[in-house]
């Protein structure tokens, strides 16, 4: 097919164990509430599915689609909404479910966006973050794993729409680089 090189970084079973922990923490944090869980498509696909199935609370699920990377592997630095949420989040507890934090631009943008929509609280959860991201003030409230600052694919993460469906997470080295 091609000669892109994939090196295993994190296995699916380790991810699932951590996802279970995150779900349990949410059950405690939002006991008696009905938060709106908002997945950021398409990278959140598997994380959103695995996480919400482990949550015992009543929740509502919505999705939003953003674009910041185009089809390349470096951030363009600007965030665009391709599809907005449909649930009215005014005065609701919002839990943002994201795939990975690199520069923090996306989550920074979303926090402000949900603030202007008058959410009661906004908690951001990213299953992955690049090592070093915690030095940014705009990291997530919850991070599943800090991973090497490489281009990663799998468990929802794509490169130009490819490799998203891989169960585990891999570092991608492009054949032509
Ligand atoms: P940030 O806005 O720079 O934090 O970038 C976050 C977004 O960029 C994520 O939602 C991902 O969609 C994408 N992204 C960042 N790093 C990677 C990566 O290593 N692989 C795939 N997508 C990534
Ligand atoms: Mg994304």
Q: How close is the Cα of 139 to the center of ligand 1, in Å?
A: 13
- Is there a cis peptide before residue 21, judged by omega within 30 degrees of 0? no
The C-alpha angle with vertex 20 and arms to 18 and 25, in degrees rounded to 5, equals: 95
Check the CA dihedral 161-164-69-49 and report its sign: positive
Q: Residue 62 catalytic?
A: no
Atom nearest to 152 CA in ligand 1? 19
Residue by residue, pLDDT tens for the chain (177 residues) are 578 999 999 999 999 999 999 999 999 999 999 999 999 999 999 999 999 999 999 999 999 999 865 555 666 668 889 999 999 999 999 999 999 998 888 998 999 999 999 999 999 999 999 987 655 556 789 999 999 999 999 999 999 999 999 999 999 998 876
Ligand closest to the CA atom of residue 64: 2
Q: What is the pLDDT of residue 73?
A: 60
Question: pTM for this structure?
Answer: 0.93
H helices of the chain, where?
Answer: 12-29, 45-54, 105-116
- Closest ligand 1 atom number to CA of residue 108: 2
User: In terms of DSSP H, where are the helices of 2-95?
Assistant: 12-29, 45-54
Q: State the virtual CA torsion across 27, 28, 32, 33 in degrees, nearest 10.
A: -60
1-26 burial, b at 16+ Cβ within 10 Å, e below that, comes to: eeebeeeebbeeeebeeebeebbeeb
Q: Measured in angstroms, how far is the CA atom of residue 156 from the centroid of ligand 2?
A: 9
CA 107 to chain centre: 9
**Is residue 109 within 6 Å of ligand 1 at its C-beta?**
no
The DSSP string of 128-152 is EEETTGGGSTT--SEEEEEE-SS-E
Q: How far apart are CA 126 and CA 171, in angstroms?
A: 18
């Amino acid at each position: 097919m091609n000669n892109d090189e994939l090196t295993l970084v994190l296995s699916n079973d380790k991810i699932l164990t951590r996802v279970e922990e995150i779900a349990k923490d949410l059950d405690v944090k939002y006991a008696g509430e009905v938060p709106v869980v908002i997945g950021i498509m398409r990278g959140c696909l598997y994380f959103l599915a695995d996480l919400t199935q482990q949550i015992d609370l009543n929740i509502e699920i919505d999705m939003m689609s953003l674009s910041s990377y185009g089809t390349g592997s470096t951030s363009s630095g600007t965030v665009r909404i391709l599809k907005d949420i449909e649930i009215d989040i005014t005065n609701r507890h919002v839990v943002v479910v994201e795939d990975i934090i690199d520069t923090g631009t996306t989550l920074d943008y979303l926090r402000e966006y949900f603030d202007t929509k008058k959410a009661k609280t906004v908690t951001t959860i990213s299953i992955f973050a690049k090592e070093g991201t915690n030095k940014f003030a705009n990291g997530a409230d919850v991070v599943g794993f800090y991973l090497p600052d490489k281009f990663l694919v799998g468990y929802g993460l794509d490169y130009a729409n490819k490799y998203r469906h891989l169960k585990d997470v891999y570092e991608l080295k492009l054949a032509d680089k």
